[in-house]
Structure 1
């Protein structure tokens, strides 16, 4: 009995131990599978973005100088004309309104058409550049811009003709040039990328300053038609050699027309909205400063000089923003310039009832106006990778079409609704408040993106 009991107990104990061991083994196996699954999930979550990895690899070998500075100077010359022609449109607009070619609303729409078309074809320009390369795109852009100006000299008495030549054709040429000058510096610079982009886009601000004075002088001396023609000839003589120097350092990544995966990243969607909203007031000050000056009683040459000050400050702002991008971070710089730009239009411009405060407004607004959009390629390159600059910028610039097309005309319609240029300076104030308020919305969106990336207020972002 005792032996039987002992044997049974022993067998029972061994069976219990076996069961316990099997349970432990099962639990351990399950634990290992769980850990493996977690590790696999973690690996899956942290798999590197191929585009970002390609960007890091390409950026690891950038010269941060050398021939890159030739690229920067050549791109700056192309930007001089590409951006400068748009920013001096206010001078032509004032002269054309005076000659009865069209109303401020119609002619501001004509001036807005070229940057709007630049946005419409931006995706196709980015796609074409991946096949043609930056040199051919830059050459094509300069050639179309030159033809648009020379042709405008033959249709300057017709608003319809101006829509087609310095409107549509110029817009397509601007898009080709913009894509080339946006991509090339990013391939040659990493640590100094902000400064390089700032210098490039400063060329556009300088172009606006020089062209504002030159266009007014040519209009007074030779008339509007020859002012257009001389501009087109000078553009070809200086722009084509510069465009020839622009070459990519590494092959441009072959991707589709649109990289829809970018919209899966909330930050890209926010940045897309920053540009879409922020472009609406972009051309309001440069298009309307000459008209505002005339309503104030200033001469056309004084108004052109104030606009030149705006554009020269824009050039400085583009360099300053590039430098600050490298020091403070591109998103910090973007947010700072947006808020200052908004406040200048809401608080300073309405109080500019004499020449001195108008000059102060033109300088401050020009400084931040130029800086805001000079930071965009730097933000895109830093946040989404230099390998994606052409595609991402093409997508973002396409979103600017509505602001380019309707931003200044909305201001023109508000001006006409409140009495037009003949009733005094107060008629301009609704347009000023509209422009400033829209910029505040863009500021809030930029601040949201910055907070999503890093909530620390003093962090470099």
Structure 2
């Protein structure tokens, strides 16, 4: 996992942020070397597992909101008199705040341990979900969504910030495993939510999900140990505006913002779109889960590939193909392409999310990672706010015919294409700065 030889030059020493964790002790102290290597490995694996569990719950619930949205708008649902656009705002607010509130994690972790930060988020998110089960008015759903989103943003980011830092050669794989919890969670939660609504009703279904979140993310809170790196806590400002003077930083943030704006749209509308193609609502919920399960496996697989062919290279391939899938398979609005859309979008879209953190470390270094990661996820939250709500407005008619989704598909494809352009320009700048020149980036 870590290098085993002492750097020969200052440049090499600076490029190895794990020097204090590397096996660099003098030969006369082999037990100390072994202890440090094993400890680092243990803490890294523990943080990755915790990140998997938090992503499983936070985004598993968030990304399967399409199931709740479909039910809320039915004649027996609590929001039957509201449009799809207004109902989608509930889930969008929660997911957007989950990302946006990541910007405050650095400030919290300057004063609290990752465990205590995560426990605060765990309790807030669980309260938001549980209390939603008591809601009867639209504004109450919104308020609970806000609490859920703030809590989710606080609980999931500490392992995301700490976990990849423990790894070097296999950093993309570790990040892929961590973020695969999102897809596995969405697969499980989409079907579990559908089952709970049918068996115990939506109110008790949400309460059960809330208590489940309390247990799972609460346990994960005790699994994250902050890396003992001297530059890990560098800077004490929530935002370092001087970093925005860098074109690379701006391109990274814009690429992340645009990708998140387009990413959720197919997932949120997939269930209802499937019904418009002639599938049942149960099949629609299943399709959401299948896409996310493929998404999870893809994150692990592409993480392995990225560690071999280059993280930025893999990120670019997935960005381009995600946009191509939307234009080629969603825009035609025919049943024959729907299964291909589910599979291929699941393969390429989620990999982008898991590759962004290791790319961030590779481009800007460990010292900037914790702060830039908060800014990046804040940008992703803004992207969520301009994505699905506008996409819902662009759905023409009643949304009961496949062609009603054409404008939303075009909007989604444009967002993902613009993200690919930003990340592509970033890739070119990073390649031009690389010395010596090497195709692996």
Equivalent position to 2:89, from 100, 109, 113: 109
- Structure 1 unpaired stretches of 5+: 1-46
Partner of 1:426: 403
* Deviation of the 1:249 alpha carbon: 2.5
Structure 1 residue 138 and structure 2 residue 118: aligned?
Answer: yes
Find out whether 1:206 has 2:184 as its counterpart.
yes
Q: Output aligned runs, 1:223-238, within 5 Å.
A: 223-238=201-216
CA distance in 1, matches of 2:224, 2:255: 29
1:286 shift after superposition? 0.7
- Within the candidate set 240, 251, 258, 1:277 is matched to 258
Distance 1:53 1:297 in 2: 55
Tell me the alpha carbon deviations over residues 23-47 of structure 1, each in whole angstroms, 9 at most, x when there is no partner.
Answer: xxxxxxxxxxxxxxxxxxxxxxxx9
Residues 39-54 of structure 1: matches in 2 within 5 Å? none
Residues 73-112 of structure 1: per-residue CA shift (max 9 Å, x gap) = 1221111011111110000000001120532101111111
Q: Which of 440, 444, 449 is the matching residue for 2:421?
A: 444
Moved more, 246-255 or 168-177: 246-255
Deviations 1:355-380 (A, max 9, x none): x6312211211222211111111111
Displacement after TM superposition at 1:232 (Å): 0.8
Task: After TM superposition, list the pairs within 5 Å mapping 1:367-386 onto structure 2.
Answer: 367-386=347-366
- Deviation string, structure 1 residues 264-321 (Cα, Å, up to 9, x no partner): 3321111111112221111101100011112223211100110111110111122123
Preserved CA contact (<8 Å) 1:126 1:179 = no
**Deviation at residue 349 of structure 1 after TM alignment:** 1.4
Distance between the aligned counterparts of 2:72 and 2:378, measured in 1?
A: 29
Q: Normalized against structure 1, the TM-score is what?
A: 0.83
Shift of residue 58, structure 1, vs aligned partner? 5.2
Picking from 120, 124, 131, the partner of 2:100 is: 120
C-alpha change, 1:58 and 1:177, in structure 2 (3 Å) is farther
Distance change in 2, residues 1:59/1:429 (3 Å): farther
Aligned with 2:143 (options 147, 160, 164): 164
- Higher Cα Rg: structure 1 or 2? 1
Q: Distance in 1 between matches of 2:69 and 2:390?
A: 16
SS class of match (1:65): helix
Does 1:389 find its partner at 2:407? no
Distance 1:358 1:451 in 2: 34
**CA RMSD after TM alignment:** 2.3
Q: Does the 8 A contact of 1:317 with 1:369 survive in 2?
A: no
Q: 1:244: how far off?
A: 1.1
Displacement after TM superposition at 1:254 (Å): 4.0
CA contact (8 A) 2:59 2:182 kept: yes
Equivalent pairs counted in the alignment come to 408
**Structure 2, unaligned runs of 5 or more:** 1-9, 24-35
- CA positional deviation for 1:60: 4.4
Query: Given that residues 54 and 387 in structure 1 are in contact (C-alpha distance below 8 angstroms), is that contact kept between their aligned partners in structure 2?
Result: no
